[in-house]
Structure 1
Amino acid sequence: MSQLQAVKLIAFDLDGTLVDSAPDLALAINAMLLDLGREQFPEQTIRHWVGNGAEVLIKRALSGSSAISSDIEESLYLQAKDLFVQHYSEKLCVASKLYDGVAESLEQLSKLNVPMTIVTNKPGVFTQPLLEALNLAQYFDVVLSGDSLPRKKPDPLPLQHLVERCEVEMADLLMVGDSKNDIQAAKAAGCRSLGLTYGYNYGEDIALSGPDFVADSLVSLLELIKGSVTA
């Protein structure tokens, strides 16, 4: 892996990148479906539906497919959303856990004084509580959730907003994520990206999205940027 130059800011995705949250998301989705008297699904199936935010996840569950049905009534979706929020809020961090290497890597990056931020499609009502539950909140100067701005990844708006807020150039930002949404957002914004081979990418190889770097863990990210950080 070649060395990365001039990193002044790192944006991390959350679900599938730092945290394996699929077990709790699956529990909440299946509890929602049970309340609605609808078919439930294995966790492995629901994992392939994660990554585009809660609305898409709920609609995929109601459709029983990654392809969202066009005949989902708004009243059904709103009922399902209320149930999902209730169940997920009650059990946000029961089975969720950090991926291997995350805690150590964030601690080392912090010691290198690398400013770190979160850019996730997860709704804000869940983002901060999850970061706090897993003792991650301390590492991030800025947290942008899926509903923080009018548009979310793969739209470039969150990354554009981030560099303006943090007063850095787009070329100095590195987006780190597990999904094509992260890579597409980075390409559209004009910053570099690192794609992680684990996580939630709809069963696709992250390399197919064309990130600048590919890694199997955040430990590789740490090695990549050592000596490349600029003040």
Structure 2
Amino acid sequence: MHIPDLAPLSLLRFEAAIVDLDGTMVDTLGDFVVALNRMLAELALPPITAEAIGQMIGKGSEHLIRSVLAHVRCGETPDAALFDAAWARYQHHYLAINGQHASIYAGVAEGLAALRARGLRLACLTNKPTAFARPLLAIKGLDVHFEHLFGGEAFERKKPDPLPLLKTCEALGSAPARTLMIGDSSNDAQAARAAGCPVVLVSYGYNHGQPVSEVDADGYVDSLADLARMLGPG
């Protein structure tokens, strides 16, 4: 993927960065495939492919469960009883295998360390439930880089609403215009634009199955290490 000139961003005196989790730091598709298909099997429903799941990731676990149930039931919207049963079994299975079928993307640890060395304060902001996100970051050794972690239930609304970014900026003590959003999807970009944060997207994430280059962002990078290098010294 072509990496644009990020020189304009390098001129900004960033105070902090907000980093998405799934599809940005960790490839969690394998975890989703295992947990969701174990859930479906218990509900006597047909399995779902990794390709289909990859297009549903990013809008929170509740949305994911509803989308998966509708997909395997030929578009039929699940009722409350089915959703509640699925949600309970999904949580059980996801927590049991959290991180076992997931891998850190190349350059993530290096990039986060470089951003911190540049003087940026870091927060992880994800639509994933905190109960899933916190142990995942710890298992992968990424928790040491972040001052704050906010999951999908931390605020009244999730990305792409700007509220989570604005609240995270408050927690970091940084102005939105001096806080870089780093993500992998239109959810991250839309939230950042509405919050007034510059935004850079990675080229390798999920983005609901759509090309990330079609999303309005300030830049696209092939790794967080590349981003740190292109921003230059603090």
Question: What interval of TM-score do these two structures reach, taking the shorter chain for normalisation?
Answer: over 0.9
Contact 2:160-2:188 within 8 A present in 1 as well: yes
Report deviation, 1:116. 0.9
Number of residue pairs matched? Answer: 227
Tell me the equivalent position of 1:161.
167
Q: In the alignment, does 2:115 pair up with 1:109?
A: yes
1:53-132 matches, cutoff 5 A: 53-64=60-71, 69=75, 71-132=77-138
Contact 1:153-1:182 within 8 A present in 2 as well: yes
State the Cα deviation string for residues 45-71 of structure 1 (Å, max 9, x = none).
211111111001111110117xx9563
Q: Percent of aligned pairs with the same residue? A: 35
SS at match of 1:64: helix
Q: Aligned letter for 1:46?
A: I
1:211-230 matches, cutoff 5 A: 211-227=217-233, 229=234
1:26 pairs with one of 16, 26, 33: 33
Q: Aligned letter for 1:218?
A: L
Tell me the equivalent position of 2:6.
2
Tell me the equivalent position of 1:17.
24
* Distance in 1 of aligned mates of 2:13 and 2:119: 13
Tell me the equivalent position of 1:198.
204
* Distance in 1 of aligned mates of 2:173 and 2:114: 23
Contact 2:114-2:225 within 8 A present in 1 as well: no
* Distance in 2 of aligned mates of 1:113 and 1:21: 29
SS at match of 1:7: coil
Q: TM-score, normalised by structure 1?
A: 0.94
Following superposition, which runs of at least 4 residues in structure 1 exceed 4 angstroms of deviation? none
Report deviation, 1:225. 1.8
Tell me the equivalent position of 1:174.
180
Name the CA shift for 1:107/1:76 in 2 (closer, same or farther; >3 Å).
same
SS at match of 2:207: coil
* Distance in 1 of aligned mates of 2:212 and 2:118: 27
Q: Aligned letter for 2:181?
A: M
Q: Aligned letter for 2:30?
A: P
2:51 pairs with one of 41, 44, 48: 44
Gaps of at least 5 residues in structure 2 are: none
Report deviation, 1:32. 0.3
State the Cα deviation string for residues 168-216 of structure 1 (Å, max 9, x = none).
2111011000011000000111111001111111221212221011111
Contact 1:183-1:211 within 8 A present in 2 as well: yes
Contact 1:26-1:47 within 8 A present in 2 as well: no
Report deviation, 1:77. 0.1
SS at match of 2:181: strand
SS at match of 1:14: coil
Report deviation, 1:222. 0.7
Report deviation, 1:108. 2.2
* Distance in 1 of aligned mates of 2:14 and 2:84: 42
